[in-house]
Chain A
């Protein structure tokens, strides 16, 4: 579904060139919920953003649904972007549009006639359980509700892929659960392939079937989480997996 091949991206900064992503390759299959995990600054967001070319890689190829994206003219690329939804840590909703009109936004971009928009918007809002908030403005919603509006908005264009950049990193733990549940439901019921960037192993454990660990711009290890024995080799992967185990033990201790 998505093939990233030898992606590199360097930013020019005041302190000199910054290799945000170095020769990263990734294969995401149809129906995957693929996690990208790593510490802050590892290059996860940059790599994710190359998938819809919000970030154009200096090197490497981006192949989505069998099509090489990097060579496409901008006009064509914009059409492809309609079938790739994206959600963000800070939701990025239009504050001056109500929930209904936010979900309507991608349909307007795609020039869907008004009469056809209505049904689509309503069904998307229903999918995320926010039909009753259609008239509300984002400022009046909780973080979890905002993210669900963002999910509804991302679904409006009937995407095959959903890109998520730290979708649970600015909400509380309970809300994290409801957002992840919504993502899993979308994946299962609509068959949408999901790539999710996070720094929390809990998120990966909760919904991902595969995960790639990033450090300093490189993908250091990949895991298929459906396998029985997961034996991380790299120090960072060991740390991330172990950290999780420690958390569990602490939780058990607190129940004891």
Chain B
């Protein structure tokens, strides 16, 4: 049994690194694009700061459209696009393209909701001091929402650890690919077990780190 594990070990490490690579590419890009996108969604909502109702309808519909694709189907559907961007539809980098496309609107929705939860009274106080919209977003909304944003990053990271395994199905490598090869084709339950333990530890570590940051940022209580 131990021999199974030790012979699979180098590949397991490799698979973990690939998964990590996918996350390191996906999450920062999702945050960098999803934050402004979610902010625009928030600002253009009905009864919000910017009266651009048609713009909101279009943007909102577009976000919903992408969000409504099941991840596996999205991945297959955009293969031509992935080829165009990365040059190939195979491999770990190619797998991150659908992950990013899925993560951006997902994260944007989080941001929209978090900003909605910011106390309107504080925004009003800032307006009474002559703050413009940019200052309200930057100095009020993001300041008050920062722990919520950190929490959203944690949730998205854990979710995409899971999505990244689907990438394994279409040659993306990573921990999902590893699990299919060892757990499914070779039926090595012991290797599968070790993999699961490692994943659980990963998720726990992300969550723990995330919660720690959230607590540090949140001064509301």
Contact = CB atoms under 8 A, between A and B. Distances in A.
Interface in A87-116: 88, 90, 92-98, 105-106, 108-110
A163 B129 CA distance: 11
Nearest to B144: A96
B98 to A, nearest CB: 35
A224 B180 CA distance: 84
A52 B130 CA distance: 10
Interface stretch (A35-43, A77-85, A183-191): A77-85
Given A54-B124, A137-B219, A139-B219, A95 B130 contact: no
Contacts of A79: 130
A208 interface: no
A86 interface: yes
Interface stretch (B23-31, B32-40, B135-143, B182-190): B135-143
A185 B56 CA distance: 48
A105 B146 CA distance: 17
Interface in B136-158: 139-140, 143-144, 146-147
A248 B137 CA distance: 49
Interface in B23-66: none
A137 B131 CA distance: 22
Centre residue among A80, A88, A93, A95 by max chain B CB count within 10 A = A95
Contacts of A139: 219-221
Contact of B128 (A54, A98, A137, A138): A54
A57 interface: no
Given A94-B140, A96-B217, A109 B146 contact: no
A54 B131 contact: no
Centre residue among B126, B144, B219, B220 by max chain A CB count within 10 A = B219
Contact of B130 (A82, A92, A137, A163): A82
A167 interface: no
Top 5 A-B pairs, shortest CB-CB distance = A81-B130, A92-B125, A78-B130, A86-B128, A92-B121
10 contacts: A54-B127, A88-B124, A92-B122, A95-B219, A96-B144, A97-B219, A108-B139, A109-B129, A109-B135, A110-B130
Interface of B: 119, 121-122, 124-132, 135, 139-140, 143-144, 146-147, 217-221
